[in-house]
Structure 1
Amino acid sequence: MTPIDNSGATPLSPAGEHGAGCWSRIGVAGDRSCDLLPQHAHCRNCGEYAGAARQHLARAVDDVYLHGWAEHFRAPQVEKERLDASAVVFRIGREWLALPTAMFVRIAPHTVPHKVPHRNARGLRGIVNIGGRLYPCVALQEVLGIAEDGGTSREDRHTFARLLLVQWEEQAYALPVADLHGIVRYASGRVQAPAATINKGLLRFLTGVLPEGDLRIGCLDVGLVGHQLARTLR
């Protein structure tokens, strides 16, 4: 018996060619050799595909089917981890660090700061012009006591130095970083206590360590970091 398409006017080829599952053999999911494909553009527009869907929906509801769905709905619901925090992750030297996303104004290309006369606070590199606005440029590695050298770029990634423009209270700052990982959303319960082997100078600025893939990210204390940034301008 030759199947008929939805219009009832155009007979399709025998089931040997356009039979059950033909879309996975000669259709869009197969080698695309079906002679009806140019006419219908996609298998979902073909009567054979629609007929198979009707047969699937009209099949008998047997005990196996009922048992399978009963087991599905009987299974306890798995609670997904609630991602209640987000941070921007960046690298200074060999250390991957993070600050809360809400603290960030924008990310800018790296630029050489201009020195400020009679200003020699620890970490203050000068000022930078970003989009017509001047920002004090503060080197976090000096503030946090991190060696600027060391660290390597991750595989399959291009590494570019950046300026992170962050806001603390009423003042914005530009922070040079060696690499930028991007925004990470995470559950605050995943944050672990810092290891005792972490640099002591850096350790006091951390609220914890966030595991993210192959990275171990130090979560910086916003209050302490903000206080240190403000000190550079006094």
Structure 2
Amino acid sequence: MGHAVHDHAGITTRVDDCWNRIGTRGDGSCPRLREHTRCLNCPVFEQGAAALLDRALSDADRRAAAGADQAVALRAGADAQADTHAVLVFRIADEWLGLPAVALRQVDTPRAIHPLPHRRNGTVLGLVNIRGTLTVAVSLGDLLQLDRAGTGKHATRNACARMLVAAHRGEPAAFPVDEVEGMLRFPASALLPVPSTLTHATALHACAVLAWRETTIGLLDADRLFDSIARSLR
């Protein structure tokens, strides 16, 4: 099994995900394992990961992404009304954030993240296997410059780490988070301006805040968020 890759000339090639077949995630029969021990140390894995990250989107990819966004928007139903918003509320350290519902693809349990060799980017954590598909894992805590040493003072009693998978006008990305509250719907009249108390990076990626319980939720702007993620991958 492999992944289709489109270069800038529109030529389609295949990336052989041998790590899932004969590597450490497969039957372990690859002769390269004797030298490299793990697929993560193998140049074949590095080249395959680089091809998946660096490939240009084809027209078919763009149509598929647009179709997925449209399908999610249709499923949102009444939430798509002009004066109603829906977000997934989650927590990283001491900050509660809201991701637009139309960008959400799934909420999953934490998965092992495999770092990319020779890539030293604090925002890009590596690759994670989401239902058989290699997906880029991104640290929102690093991107938004959140204090990871926070006390978790806003955590709920049954807080449990999760992996969010989201997409907006392109490839999906996975975000490890400390807790997921769930979907929250609210009228546009409930939106408040972004306060100066937010970190500079968070304020740059937020479109508004929402008063919630005894704290506030920073509502992320999908365009700004995914533009920053795309820059981190270059």
Q: TM-score category by the smaller chain?
A: 0.5 to 0.7
> Cα deviation per residue 1:151-183 (whole Å; 9 max; x = unaligned)?
23545x311111100012120000010111110
Identity of aligned residues (%): 29
Partner of 2:194: 194
Aligned equivalents of 2:154, 2:112: Cα separation in 1: 21
Coordinate RMSD, CA, aligned: 1.7
Aligned equivalents of 1:100, 1:215: Cα separation in 2: 19
Partner of 2:160: 160
> Cα deviation per residue 1:76-98 (whole Å; 9 max; x = unaligned)?
xxxxxx96110001011111001
TM-score normalised according to structure 2 size: 0.61
Aligned equivalents of 1:200, 1:115: Cα separation in 2: 27
Aligned equivalents of 1:106, 1:114: Cα separation in 2: 20
The reply to whether residue 220 of structure 1 matches residue 220 of structure 2 is yes
Aligned equivalents of 2:160, 2:93: Cα separation in 1: 13
The reply to whether residue 104 of structure 1 matches residue 113 of structure 2 is no
Partner of 2:209: 209
The amino acid of 1:227's aligned partner reads D
Partner of 1:127: 127
TM-score normalised according to structure 1 size: 0.61
SS, match of residue 227 in structure 2: helix
> Cα deviation per residue 1:180-207 (whole Å; 9 max; x = unaligned)?
1110001112110122222223222211
Q: Is the 8 A contact 1:89 1:180 kept in 2?
A: yes
The amino acid of 1:203's aligned partner reads A
SS, match of residue 141 in structure 1: helix
Aligned residues: 152
Aligned equivalents of 2:158, 2:98: Cα separation in 1: 20
Aligned equivalents of 1:205, 1:104: Cα separation in 2: 17
Choose 82-91 or 217-226, whichever is displaced more. Answer: 82-91
Structure (1 or 2) with the greater helix fraction: 2
- CA, structure 1 residues 83+177, in 2 after alignment: closer, same or farther (shift >3 Å)? same
Partner of 2:147: 147
